[in-house]
Amino acid sequence: MSEDKPPFLIISTHDYRSSRKASMHFIAEELAKKGKTRFFSVGFSHLSRIIKDHRLPLWGRANRVETQNNIDAYLWQTFVHPVKLPKDRASILLSIYYYIYARLSPRIFKSWVKESKTIFIESSISLAFFGYVKKLNPDASVIYIASDSLRTNNEPRALQKILAKAATKFDRVKISSLLMASEFPRGTPLIFVPQGVKPSIKDPLPPSPYRPGVNLVSIGAMLFDRSFFEIAAKAFPEITFHVIGGGKYASLLSVPNIVVYPDKPYDETIAYIAHANAGIAPYNGQHVSPYLADTSLKLLQYGYYGIPAICPQTVCGKYTGRFGYISGDKESITSAIRQALACQKIPATSILTWEQIANRILDPAAYPDTHIDAKRV
C-alpha cells in the first residue's frame, strides 16, 4: 500500500465494518492496497431504528473513526436524516433538507474531502453530497457508483433530480449493466464495469453447514419478497429454505421448514451458497428491474459456485442456470424450483475479480471493454 498518494474517499449508505457486504466493501479493500482509503457512511439517525437499518449493530460506534483492514471508517449519526416521504409534494422540502444535511456534515468529513484526490459517491442519499464535495474540493475526481437505479429503489424524486443535474458533471459514472445506460442523460461519462467476486472464496471450500436433505438458500434483503417463501415452503415441505440477512420482512416468516438467520459475515455465507442445492433471489416482482440480471451479487455468486438460481423471470437475462417465476404465482414458483433441482449443478461462471474492477474504474482508458458510447442504445 502506498501512503504517499492522496487518499481515496467513499461516501455510501453502507458502513465498511458491517457484516452485510456490498460491492463498495470489496472495491474499498482494493483501493486500500493502492493508497489510504476512507469510508464515510451517511443516512443514519434515530429514524434508523424505526426502519431497522442494517447498520444498527454499529450504533455505539458511530461518530468516531475506526480503522479496519487499513480502511478508516466513520458512521455519521445524527438526530434525524432525510428519508423517503409518501408524497412527492414534499419533494421541494426534501431537496432543501438534502442541501442542509450535507453541509451539516462533521469536521472530519470536510477534512477527508479536501485531502482526497478521488472521491466515490454511491447511489442513494450519498448523492446529496455531490455539490458540497465539488465546492470543498473542485480539483478532486468524483466518480458515481451506480450500484442501483434510483427509480428501481423507489428513491425520492428529490434525489432523482439531483442525479439528473449532476450526471454530466461527474468525472465518471460506473454502471454494472448496459441496461442502466438509458437512465442517464446524453453526455454522461458512463463506463461499463460488471460486478465481481473474491477469487479466494473457493479455496479452501468450507464444510457444509446443512443437515442431510434438500437445502435452498437466499442471501440479502434487497426487494425481499416474503410471499415467495410462504408459497414455496408450503408447496415443498420436504425442502429446507435458509434465509440469511433477509431483513424485517424475513423476520415475519414463521414456517417449520424455513430457517431465518440474521446478517452473517460475508465469508460465512460462502458455505451456505456453495453447498446449497440451489440459490434463491426473491426479488419483489412489482419493483424488479431487468438490469438486476447483471448487477445482482447473489445471482452472480450462485453462478460462480455453479448452483442453479431461482428468480423472477425479469432477472433471468441471458444467463444459463436461472429458472424464472412470476411473483405470487404458485404454479410458476413450484415449476421454477423443480427445474432448478432437476438441473443440479451448472458450469461455474467466469467473473472479474474486485482487483480487476477497481483498476477499470480508476483507469478506464486502459480497458477498451469499459467504453460504452458505441454500445449505448
Assign residue 225 the CATH number of its domain: 3.40.50.2000
In a domain, 77, yes or no: yes
User: Cβ-count burial of 66 within 10 angstroms (0-12 exposed, 13-18 middle, 19+ buried)?
Assistant: middle
Sign of torsion over alpha carbons 213, 214, 218, 223: negative
Query: What CA–CA distance (Å, rounded) separates 65 from 56?
Result: 17
Looking at the fold, whether 92 and 119 belong to one and the same domain comes out as: yes
Looking at the fold, whether 172 and 206 belong to one and the same domain comes out as: no
Q: Structural domain of residue 243, as residue ranges? A: 200-343
Q: What is the DSSP pairing of strand 322-325 with strand 172-175? A: unpaired
Query: Are 20 and 220 contacting, i.e. CB atoms less than 8 angstroms apart?
Result: yes
> Is 88 an active-site residue?
no
Q: What CATH number does residue 99 fall under?
A: 3.40.50.11010
Write the DSSP string, 58-104. GGGG-SSEEEETTEEEEEEEES------S-GGGHHHHHHHHHHHHHT
**Cell numbers standing for residue 35:** 493508497
Domain count, the chain: 2
Please tell me the pTM assigned to this model: 0.87
Quote the longest CA-to-CA distance of the chain: 60
Q: Which of 72, 148, 225, 263 is catalytic?
A: 148
In a domain, 14, yes or no: yes
Identify the three-state secondary structure at position 258.
strand
Looking at the fold, whether 276 and 296 belong to one and the same domain comes out as: yes
Distance of CA 142 to the CA centre of its chain: 19
Q: In what order do the strands lie in the sheet with 172-175?
A: 65-68, 71-78, 37-45, 8-12, 118-122, 141-146, 172-175, 190-192
Looking at the fold, whether 231 and 319 belong to one and the same domain comes out as: yes
Over its length of 377 residues, how does the chain's per-residue pLDDT go in tens digits? 455 668 999 999 999 999 888 899 999 999 999 999 999 999 999 999 988 898 999 999 999 999 999 999 999 999 999 887 665 555 778 888 999 999 999 999 999 999 999 999 999 899 999 999 999 999 999 999 998 888 877 788 889 999 999 999 999 999 999 999 988 999 999 999 998 877 655 567 789 999 999 999 999 988 899 999 999 999 999 999 999 999 888 888 989 999 999 988 888 898 999 999 999 999 987 778 899 999 998 999 999 899 999 999 999 998 999 999 999 999 999 999 999 999 988 887 778 999 999 999 999 999 999 988 644 44
